[in-house]
Amino acid sequence: MITLLALALALSMDAFAAALCDGSASRPRASKARALYVGLAFGGAQALMPLIGYGLGLAFVSVVREVDHWIAFVLLSVLGVRMMREGLRPSPSQGTPAPRGQWALFATTIATSIDAAAAGVTLPMLGQPVLLACAVIGVVTFALSAAGVLIGAAAGAAAGHRATILGGVMLVGIGSKILVEHLFFGG
């Protein structure tokens, strides 16, 4: 069970970082409802992707492994650049920018959970039922992502639009990290 928890924590780190960015982009502050929504989105994706990877088996994972890092890099970079542009734009006189849209959240959840599909192949080696493993991964990611939104909102409220820019830089950084790990370190 300790190995499963370690896997769940490792798989949830990118989602946590992206949730921090989401919270920092929320003005004036992310609500608890937003934190739960983002947590459910990331947790659901992280629970589902290993199950998909497990179901598709080793043959397809080798194909996904060849391009997953590029997909994650492109999606996160596009979203990050968009956030940076939003942060550099002068704020409207009547209000503040809304949290990121639905498609951006969907793309981010997919980009941060692609590796979980490949990890799904290893689930039988953990000595736990596959559905339990997927549930643990999903619950851990949910909790960390919901907390990440609230932490990001607290930090973002203090930093203003600089937090949106920083969040964009972080997303590009996450995508770059995934790409470098896969290209140079066999990630």
Q: How far apart are CA 83 and CA 45, in angstroms?
A: 22
Of 30-44, 84-98, 112-126, 173-187, where does mean pLDDT reach its minimum?
Answer: 84-98
What helix, strand, coil percent values describe the chain, rounded to 5?
85, 0, 15
From the list 6, 113, 138, 143, the residue with the least C-alpha distance to 53 is 113
The tens digit of pLDDT for each residue in 135-172 reads 999 999 999 999 999 998 887 666 666 766 776 787 78
8 Å CB contact between 117 and 47: no
CA distance 80 to 46: 21
Q: Is 154 exposed, middle or buried (0-12, 13-18, 19+ CB in 10 A)?
A: middle
For 42-60, the pLDDT digits (tens) are: 999 999 999 988 888 766 6
pLDDT of residue 24: 80
Rounded distance, CA 127 to CA 38, Å?
30
> Looking at residue 104, what DSSP letter applies?
H
CA distance 16 to 152: 10
| Residue 10 vs residues 62, 68, 151, 162: alpha-carbon distances, Å | 21, 17, 19, 28
- The predicted-structure confidence for 87-139, as pLDDT tens digits, reads as follows 787 655 434 344 467 888 888 898 888 878 877 877 777 778 999 999 999 99
Pull the structure tokens for residue 143. 């909790």
**pLDDT at residue 28 in the model:** 65
